[in-house]
Amino acid sequence: MKPLLFLLFTFNLFFSFSQQNVEPFLEPIVKQFPNVRDIAMAPNGNEIMFSVQSVMGNTSAIVTVTKENGTWSAPKIASFSGQFFDLEPFFSHDGLKLYFVSTRPIDASSNKPKDFDIWVVERQDLTSNWSRPKNMGSPINTEHGEFYPSIAKNGNFYFTRDNPELKRKDDIYVSKNINGDLTEPQVLPNTINSEGYEYNAFIAPDESYLIFGGYHRKDGLGSGDLYISYHTNEGWTKAKNLGESINSQKMDYCPFVDAKTNTLYFTSKMDNSKTNFEKPLTINELLTEFNKYDNGLSRLYKVNIEELLRN
């Protein structure tokens, strides 16, 4: 085999093998909805929330599933969701609070949508009902959009903000937890943020790494890719594309990591639909192709990243 052909063969073999590590997650549940995104798992691993959306993404609600005898239950709309545009849940590290994003009005007597804010609900214990949602207010929320909360174990609060004053696209911010109070949010350095869109940041519980989405970067593989930056004594390292083993040629976003198992859960619009066929398809074969999991719709996936986190 010629050297160039051998290299291409090796690359294709590696690419195919790497992609096999990415698996669909909650496939029978996810396929019930047009689009599914932004998963959050409770600390005990027995409760999951994620957003379900209409075909065009203009309707969005948060649903929940629980593990019962090792099997995930049928999905239900979360008690605080189903009326307004809600998405991007995140559990506190004791599982007693849940943060999420919504355009719901602050004034309960109004149905007029607000800009995107971060809200919180609470419960007394893991089996109690959630409280009524409360807007987080200042210093997290502003008159502009805030998105995708993620909290380190020390209480430092990471999120995305659309801040027109910076005259660039969305950036990732952190608000430090000082004795129980959140400080004025600070934009993360340019090793992470850029002139373009940065979004959907998941912070490791110990703040050792940050996985986030970057849109149409120069080293991107698709429209949006997942990147990682490590926190060192010198600060945050230059963000690195997670590569072809995770990112597809389409939109990859909304990361969440189960630190106990080093499993990365994420959303992808990866499309492995076939376009060339050896013979005409029957209607059943055509429907099977249309309805396959990786058909370009927004779906949930998982992959082990233990080796990646050793870097």
8-62, pLDDT tens digit by residue? 333 333 333 344 599 999 999 999 999 999 999 999 999 999 999 999 999 999 9
Q: Which of 51, 60, 115 has the alpha carbon at shortest distance from 89?
A: 51
Cβ-based neighbours of 170, under 8 Å, separated by 6 or more: 145, 147, 160, 161, 162, 197, 198, 199
The whole-number pLDDT of residue 310 equals 76
Q: Residue 111: pLDDT above 80? A: no
Q: Is the pLDDT assigned to residue 6 strictly greater than 70?
A: no
Q: Give dist(CA 233, CA 251) in Å, integer.
A: 32
pTM, entire model: 0.90
SS (H, E, C) 158-213: EEEECCHHHCCCCEEEEECEECCEECCCEECCCCCCCCCCEEEEEECCCCCEEEEE
Looking at the chain, the whole-number percentage of residues with pLDDT higher than 70 is 93
The token duo for 150 is 């993620």
116-136 burial, b if ≥16 CB within 10 A, otherwise e? bbbbbbeeeeeeeebeebebb
Q: What is the 3-state secondary structure (H, E, C) of 98-153?
A: EEEEECCCCCCCCCCCCCCEEEEEECCCCCCCCCCCEECCCCCCCCCCEEEEEECC
Q: What angle do CA 54, 92, 228 make, to 5 degrees?
A: 75
Opening angle at CA 39, ends 34 and 43, nearest 5: 150
pLDDT band at 91 (very low <50, low <70, confident <90, very high): very high
Bridge partner residues of 63 (DSSP): 50, 77
pLDDT, tens digit, 9 for 90 and up, residues 122-170? 999 999 999 999 999 999 999 999 999 999 999 999 999 998 877 778 9
Residue 86 to residue 64: CA distance in whole angstroms: 13
Residues 158 and 174: their CA atoms lie apart, in Å, by 4
First-residue to last-residue Cα distance in the chain: 34
- Give the span between the Cα atoms of 73 and 66, in whole angstroms: 5
Q: What is the CATH number of domain 21-310?
A: 2.120.10.30
CB-based burial label for 18 (10 Å; 0-12, 13-18, 19+): middle
Is the predicted pLDDT of residue 2 greater than 60, yes or no?
no
Q: What is the full DSSP assignment across 246-274?
A: T--SSBEEEEEEETTTTEEEEEE--B---
